[in-house]
Structure 1
Amino acid sequence: MPLINFLHQGLAWIEPAIVTYGVLALLVILYFESFGVPLPGESALIAASLLAVRGDLAIGHVFMAAWLGAVLGDSTGYLIGRIGGRPLLNRFGYLVKLTPERLSRLEKTVETKGFFMVLTARFIVVLRQLNGLIAGSAGMPWPHFVVANALGGLLWAGLWSFGPYFFTDAFKQLV
């Protein structure tokens, strides 16, 4: 039970922050989460979508804030990866169980399937936070990264913005 209380208290600030500061709070949360800061970005996006259902936010604004926060955050991660590169990931990777061996495998994946990795990484916890850093560290070409990042962010923001927004009533009817 203490773990559940800890998690609940850890997430309790999300809704009040978004109610108080609107989609700007969502954008900031997603921006920082997208380059490695351990924040509950997906939970914040779902909360914002549900606030839009309630009429507190405009769903279009929620979507745009989510997309911008994700794309700008991943782009920042990419630049950090290009500048700090492998030494940075080797030094701090242990914090997310990113061993040098795992990093080597991920860098090889970037070389062979980088576009697909960046496009889909946003849907995988931890990889969502690290994909920009890894793509930058592995030297993925910036134009390829930008296109994959923008498309992946669009798909992810669309799913988690509009999914809860449109399917909340359907879920209520099932329960």
Structure 2
Amino acid sequence: MDFNALLDAVPAQAVYALTGLIILVESIGIPLPGEIMLVTASLLASGPEPRISIHGVAAAAIVGAAVGDSIGYFVGRHFGDRLFGWLGERFPHHVNDETIGYAKHAFHRHGVWAVFFGRFVALLRIFAGPLAGSLRMSYPRFLLANVTGAFAWAGGLAYGVHFLGKVAEKWMHNFSFVGLIVALAFGVFVSTVMRKRISANVAAYAEAKRAAGEEINPTTVA
């Protein structure tokens, strides 16, 4: 299979659109590999003569993140627990009492900062918008944290990976093929490490709640 020809056949606009769409849907609350898609697109924009612009990738990711979180905010504000119940039925591994309870705990502890820094944590990235809405966080405060977080996470990750890709390109003779493999491998590695770390935090939170005889996912967080 000619991987160069395969990648050349994909329009740049399709890469931007797919990157923005996956991140947007993830930000609404649907578990999708937004980080992996962003890393892959950023590395593909790092070739010697790239057809894909890193500025286009970063812009699509930032817009997708900000718009997706805002949609998630209003969905969570109007539907709240029904949304989490629906997600729990379809994605029980990602959405359950333990993960939602831990996310609520993070919001209660860090407030609006959970929205900003949540961009860098897979679990909070999925729940930030819907939870902020369901917990009636002020929308202007949410929007400020949402947009700045989107710029910091999506823009920072896109340009950071792009820079690393440019450095690595000096040692790559067949970038299109090798770059794709590196992008996927790196994305999967980062995602796996973060997922394990968050899973450990969620488990520790749930165990502490059980030991104290408290609800893991309380309706209201005191």
Q: TM-score, normalised by structure 2?
A: 0.63
RMSD: 2.7
Alignment partner of 1:26 is 2:23: no
In structure 2, the residue matched to 1:65 is 60
Alignment partner of 1:168 is 2:161: no
Does the C-alpha gap of structure 1 residues 107 and 39 become closer, same or farther in structure 2, counting only changes over 3 Å?
closer
Identity over the aligned pairs, expressed in percent? 33
Q: 2:42 pairs with 41, 49, 71, which one?
A: 49
Secondary structure of the structure 2 residue equivalent to 1:53: coil
**Count of aligned pairs:** 162
More helix by share: 1
Matched letter for residue 31 of structure 1: L
Asked if the contact 1:90–1:100 (Cα under 8 Å) also holds between the matched residues in 2, the reply is no
Q: TM-score, normalised by structure 1?
A: 0.78
In structure 2, the residue matched to 1:10 is none
Bigger Cα Rg: 2
Structure 1 residue 61: Cα displacement:
1.1
Stretch of structure 1 that moved more, 49-58 or 143-152 = 49-58
Structure 1 residue 106: Cα displacement:
3.3
Structure 1 residue 57: Cα displacement:
1.1
Asked if the contact 2:46–2:166 (Cα under 8 Å) also holds between the matched residues in 1, the reply is no
Task: Could you tell me which runs of 5 or more consecutive residues in structure 2 were left unpaired when the two chains were aligned.
Answer: 1-6, 173-222
Task: Could you tell me which runs of 5 or more consecutive residues in structure 1 were left unpaired when the two chains were aligned.
Answer: 1-13
Asked if the contact 1:15–1:47 (Cα under 8 Å) also holds between the matched residues in 2, the reply is no
Asked if the contact 2:103–2:127 (Cα under 8 Å) also holds between the matched residues in 1, the reply is no
Secondary structure of the structure 2 residue equivalent to 1:150: helix
Alignment partner of 1:140 is 2:133: no
In structure 1, the residue matched to 2:214 is none
In structure 2, the residue matched to 1:92 is 87
